[in-house]
């Protein structure tokens, strides 16, 4: 379980909410656009974003936040699949 900090996915996930994450090795085979993923970015740390699409070769994910000023693939580029640590399956409101 993780606590949400920041507002990049508001109103879907609000600061202070908790999320339950499934952590499964090589989970990418089960991910689809629209899923909310958790990944570890080397500069920003643990991040939660919505999967927009995969790269043509399937090795990278393009992820987006809901907030217009969100740090996401529009600013830092695609996310390599090995950064992904899980998929959000439940939100518990604050």
Q: What is the pLDDT along the chain (94 residues), one digit of tens a residue?
A: 889 998 888 888 899 999 999 886 655 568 899 999 999 999 999 999 999 999 999 889 999 999 888 999 999 999 999 999 999 999 998 7
CATH class of the 2-92 domain in this structure: mainly beta
Strand order in the sheet with 36-41: 2-3, 18-22, 84-92, 36-41, 45-54, 60-64, 79-80
The four Cα atoms 79, 81, 86, 90 give a dihedral, to 10 degrees, of: 60
- What integer pLDDT is reported at residue 43 of this predicted model? 95
The counts of H helices and E strands in the chain are 1, 7
């Amino acid at each position: 379980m993780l606590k949400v900090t920041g507002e990049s996915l508001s109103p879907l996930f609000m600061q202070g909410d908790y999320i339950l994450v499934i952590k499964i090795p090589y989970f990418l085979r089960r991910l689809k656009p629209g899923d909310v993923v958790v990944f570890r970015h080397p500069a920003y740390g643990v991040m939660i974003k919505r999967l927009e699409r995969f790269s043509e070769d399937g090795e990278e994910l393009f992820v987006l936040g809901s907030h217009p000023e969100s740090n996401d693939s529009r600013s830092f580029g695609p996310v390599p699949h090995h950064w992904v640590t899980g998929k959000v399956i439940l939100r518990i409101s604050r």
